[in-house]
Structure 1
């Protein structure tokens, strides 16, 4: 998807939230991707007030990896 599509998604979510009477939101992002900034700008354009931005991406440090295959001679 393009950045324009992500921005449109942010605007539509913001307008639906406004119709429900929600004026301020806390945004939590999960995962990496190129959609973060366009969605935020769409929410901003729709008139929602963002109280906080949180990144909830899980970082793996390699503790749960499988062991390497043993070398055969």
Structure 2
């Protein structure tokens, strides 16, 4: 039988994972707009590339956000 502490720790870790997944999902939604704005304002292309790389990481981390939230 698992201890109460390990059950609470597992629950807290699961909630933290859901929060990270949600933040990454919404960042992946918003970051392309930032990249377009940076391009429109004439910012350096290396900064736009960084934003797009962060967007790719957010897509990877947040891709399962809605799939797992219905439990």
Which TM bucket (shorter chain)? 0.3 to 0.5
Higher strand share: 1
TM-score in terms of structure 2 length: 0.34
TM-score (structure 1 length as normaliser): 0.33
Name the one with the larger helix percent: 2
